[in-house]
Structure 1
Amino acid sequence: MFTQELQSKIDQVWLAFHSGGLSNPLSVIEQITFLLFIKQLDELQNRVEQEASITGELINPIYSEFDKELRWSYFKNLSPEEMYKSFQKENGVFDFMKAYGGKSSSFSKFMKNANFIIPTARLLAQVVEMLDKIDMQDKDTKGDVYEYMLSKIATAGSNGQFRTPRHIIKMMVEMMQPTLDDIICDPSAGSCGFLVGAAEYIQSNYKQEILKPAVQNHFLNEMFLGMEFDPTMIRIGAMNLILHGIENPQLKDVDSLSQSNADFEEKASLILANPPFKGSLDKDAVDEKVIAMVDSKKTELLFLGLMLKGLKIGGRCAVIVPDGVLFGSSGAHKKIRKELVENQTLEAIISMPSGVFKPYAGVSTAILIFTKTNAGGTDKVWFYDMKADGYSLDDKRTPTTANDIPDVIERFLNRAKEDRARTEPSFVVPKKEIAANGYDLSINKYKEVEYEQKIYAKPVEIISKIQKLDSERLNLLNDLKTLI
């Protein structure tokens, strides 16, 4: 649980970096992540050694007996100068961390250009001491720490990329219910929050099945696929996944929409994503097959085309889009909506409150959920008008009791039985009606507002009441005068 005390500890670490001369938020997050990863490696080694004390066999140790000085539990007790040297020297602590998994692993590939940039021995010792007091064993706590650190990136949102809150990720994952057979993809992975959320769902719901060797191999090496072009974010994402038990995630350091990612075709059975909302691209740089599907420069439309291309037949997608995608009047907007309704199976649209992405932006968003069929199948579309997500919708985003998320999940999973009036938070709309409205998918196009009739007293009655009150007031005032 992310407590006020834990938040205060992270703030102290952050302040220490700032005071020590490292003020770039993304650089601070990366350096903290490196240290937390090194700390976690030592904790994993402790676990292996504990198992060995029971079984008598040391299986897959992270550190050999010759590497003990590279372990967190060892160097945290060194003097600041000795600790700093152990990080800086060749084949020292930092080099060991970079090489984790071997030269052939995707992790070591992304870590190739990673740099240790903590400027002084004093700052390193100070931060190590602070982080040593933070218990990261609980997965929820670990995720909350990452989310809180990422919230400190002041520049986030400037290019349309917004950190997706963990409770929104969890809601989307629970609606889509990943299975052990899935290949789960996020083509705009960032810190890999959606992939981590899916992994946690699998680990919680398939505790016994995941122990089978074949299933374990799929989970560790094949199930999770992500793309991210920012080298810092892909390193953070890779470490995030490994810290959550996915040893060899299939991450690609590539611009998802470019020709370099042209082989992403019918690869995923489930896509969970929150792609960039704004900005435009040079169409010449975009994959030709995506352009053929969505002739546009707008990233939010191009990503929908990419997802359709990357899904297998029968594959499912839950993606966050800006409201403009639902009602935009351009030819590209209408074409992609018609594609989803007529040629695929559009399942649901959840309209979210505009404060979900605060403090980054007050943009209005919705979740589109569809299945790729290439043969149609849309019969009716389920809509939900979500008004509350458990947090205040201002910049502070403090917890509140108002929360539609449990209802959203339950009703989505039972949407086939939905039979509610359009004045209710959720309802269904037939495909025929959507087509007749030019494939407009905005919830306000179909939601009915129930107006409550107000009956007011006649003016003569109101004036009479005012006169009566004036008379009573005057009498009281005269009584008061007689007492003086």
Structure 2
Amino acid sequence: MSLTTLVKSIQDIMRKDVGVDGDAQRISQMVWLIFLKIFDDKEQEWQLTVPNYTSPLPSRFRWTNWAKNPEGMTGEELVDFVNNDLFPALKNLATKAGVTDRGKVVGSVFEDAYNYMKSGTLLRQVINTIEENLDLNRSGDRHLFNDIYEKILADLQSAGNAGEYYTPRAVTQFMVDILDPQLGQTILDPACGTGGFLTCAIKHLDRQVKTADDHNLLQGSIRGVEKKPLPYMLAMTNMILHGIDVPTSIRHDNTLARQLQSYTPKDRVDMVITNPPFGGVEEDGIESNFLKKYQTRETADLFMALIMHLLKYDTGRAAVVLPDGFLFGEGVKTTLKRELLEQFNLHTIVRLPKGVFSPYTSIATNILFFEKGGPTKAVWFFEHPYPKGYKSYSRSKPLTIAEFDLEKGWWGSAARRGRKTTEHAWKIPAKALTARNYNLDCKNPYQEEVNHRDPQELMVEYQEIVERLNAAQAALKTELMTCLKGKA
């Protein structure tokens, strides 16, 4: 069965169930079932590879023992088992004493999970469809699991509620390529969503793994936090699919809910790579976790204050996606930008064109690259151009990783040596930015600025042109009639 057919068949079964209302609930239902299937397949692998492996799940709650048999529980018996036995037991693993780290992972995933299906017969059909078509230990199916993850993500976007935790793959890949993480370095995404940045970093680091010790080093270097249940569940599934067998460093929490000053040097990281939620407002009281100079309810600003605080002294590096509003904003934004220039090396801002996040938002965005240890001497700006013939991006014409070859060719290796001013790149001294009151919204001096005229002015001009054309047409008609009369 093809990927699209498989996902569609599962969703079609769920559509018949009166308890499942809308795409988001269908996706959530599918994700917890697939997570348990993946975990069961991984347990078969761990029994062979992990000495004295013992499952953290009581025997009756393992997928193999309640779901695998196509003639197993169904109807009211199945729904009663899932709601009153399985879910309470799995949720309890998060806090139960003596539970292994693997058990805590399962518990954290099910902390806010919910069984929406009310028909045990339909639930059995969904379980059988998953069991028949997916096996992580079967050749080729691991790739299929990754494809299903991407399909679920696409469906989430179509449902209209995923924009806040989705970053285009090309942007994710470019940021990781530029930061070039190395084995042994700790990598954090404090708003990790479905885990896109972290899985991209894992793939990058995986190419450096040569020994079992290297593998263990990689396992301990990935950190993430996500506060919403569904993207968190997807992130945990994603981690396991990408070889992070015990992703206890991916937490289900609000990163901003902790006192900024409570972070110790042990919490600092080598690298932060993230696209924090922007345009959002935090709940009352969250801002009190921050120093007064940073206090605001704007989510992106609080994340920036946290990111700057968590980078290791002198060696910490970051790549952060932020909207234009951060560049020209005032108040807390000015405070943050002043500290970026004074205490960090804000060496590069890549200005992305509108439509990169289309159709989920039309807001123009930027990627800020900076390092701990300053002050900044100058900031390089690079304006990413549309491909030839494009006026915007769309779902059918998205941004591609190949387009970033332009930036990579200009970047100048890790030391950023040999950079040159081009039609897309220009440099501004930090003193000039300070004189602008830290307004970083600097336009490309080598591109002609498009003059967006007032629509009412344009309408008046249009009416005048129409009137002149009508007058010319009338005059031509009169002349033509005169000529015809003369010939007559």
TM normalised by structure 2 equals 0.75
Which residue of structure 2 lines up, in the alignment, with residue 272 of structure 1? 273
Taking the aligned partners of 1:288 and 1:66, their CA distance within structure 2 comes to 43
**Structure 1 residues 6, 108: CA separation in 2 closer, same or farther (over 3 Å shift)?**
closer
Indicate the SS of the match to 2:21: coil
Which residue of structure 2 lines up, in the alignment, with residue 249 of structure 1? 248
Q: 1:207 aligns with which of 200, 206, 209?
A: 209
Taking the aligned partners of 1:401 and 1:309, their CA distance within structure 2 comes to 32
How far off its partner does 1:133 sit? 2.7
Q: Which residue identity does 1:148 align to in structure 2? A: A
Aligned residue runs from structure 1 range 95-114, under 5 A: 95=89, 99=93, 103-105=99-101, 106-110=104-108, 111-114=110-113
Taking the aligned partners of 1:177 and 1:389, their CA distance within structure 2 comes to 25
Per-residue CA shift, 1:15-59, capped at 9, x if unaligned?
33233231343332222122222222333244456x57xxxx976
Which residue of structure 2 lines up, in the alignment, with residue 18 of structure 1? 15
Report if the CA contact (8 A) 2:305-2:336 is conserved. yes
How far off its partner does 1:320 sit? 0.8
Indicate the SS of the match to 1:440: coil
Which residue of structure 1 lines up, in the alignment, with residue 71 of structure 2? 78
Indicate the SS of the match to 2:233: helix
1:195 equivalenced with 2:195 (yes/no):
no
How far off its partner does 1:129 sit? 4.1
Report if the CA contact (8 A) 2:353-2:365 is conserved. yes
How far off its partner does 1:403 sit? 4.5
Per-residue CA shift, 1:218-248, capped at 9, x if unaligned?
433x422222332443333233323322213
How far off its partner does 1:70 sit? 3.2
How far off its partner does 1:277 sit? 0.8
Which residue of structure 2 lines up, in the alignment, with residue 416 of structure 1? 416
Per-residue CA shift, 1:254-287, capped at 9, x if unaligned?
3322345653454222111111111334674324
Q: Which residue identity does 1:428 align to in structure 2? A: K
**Structure 1 residues 251, 392: CA separation in 2 closer, same or farther (over 3 Å shift)?**
farther
Q: 1:6 aligns with which of 3, 7, 12?
A: 3
Which residue of structure 1 lines up, in the alignment, with residue 142 of structure 2? 137
How far off its partner does 1:125 sit? 3.1
TM normalised by structure 1 equals 0.76
Q: Which residue identity does 1:322 align to in structure 2? A: P
Aligned length: 432
Q: 1:150 aligns with which of 156, 159, 167?
A: 156
Which residue of structure 2 lines up, in the alignment, with residue 88 of structure 1? 82
Which residue of structure 1 lines up, in the alignment, with residue 483 of structure 2? none
Taking the aligned partners of 1:201 and 1:155, their CA distance within structure 2 comes to 29
Taking the aligned partners of 2:345 and 2:90, their CA distance within structure 1 comes to 48
Which residue of structure 2 lines up, in the alignment, with residue 448 of structure 1? 446
How far off its partner does 1:67 sit? 6.4
1:333 equivalenced with 2:333 (yes/no):
yes
Per-residue CA shift, 1:74-132, capped at 9, x if unaligned?
72532562893696287659956985997353424422453333322332233234434
Aligned residue runs from structure 1 range 358-397, under 5 A: 358-373=358-373, 376-388=374-386, 393-397=392-396
**Structure 1 residues 259, 36: CA separation in 2 closer, same or farther (over 3 Å shift)?**
closer
Per-residue CA shift, 1:425-468, capped at 9, x if unaligned?
23433333333433332241x432269xxxxxxxxxxxxxxxxx
How far off its partner does 1:65 sit? 12
Root-mean-square deviation (Å)? 3.9
Report if the CA contact (8 A) 1:352-1:367 is conserved. yes
Taking the aligned partners of 1:409 and 1:130, their CA distance within structure 2 comes to 44
Q: 1:167 aligns with which of 165, 170, 175?
A: 170
Taking the aligned partners of 1:202 and 1:389, their CA distance within structure 2 comes to 30
Taking the aligned partners of 1:450 and 1:86, their CA distance within structure 2 comes to 67
Taking the aligned partners of 1:251 and 1:362, their CA distance within structure 2 comes to 30
**Structure 1 residues 356, 136: CA separation in 2 closer, same or farther (over 3 Å shift)?**
farther
How far off its partner does 1:362 sit? 1.0
How far off its partner does 1:340 sit? 0.8
**Structure 1 residues 401, 97: CA separation in 2 closer, same or farther (over 3 Å shift)?**
same
Taking the aligned partners of 1:260 and 1:114, their CA distance within structure 2 comes to 28
Report if the CA contact (8 A) 1:107-1:248 is conserved. yes
Q: Which residue identity does 1:240 align to in structure 2? A: N
Indicate the SS of the match to 2:203: helix
Q: Which residue identity does 1:195 align to in structure 2? A: L
Per-residue CA shift, 1:364-390, capped at 9, x if unaligned?
1111111122xx242332322123489
Extract unaligned runs of 5+ from structure 2. 135-139, 450-488
Taking the aligned partners of 1:354 and 1:13, their CA distance within structure 2 comes to 36
1:181 equivalenced with 2:184 (yes/no):
yes
**Structure 1 residues 193, 419: CA separation in 2 closer, same or farther (over 3 Å shift)?**
closer
**Structure 1 residues 192, 250: CA separation in 2 closer, same or farther (over 3 Å shift)?**
same
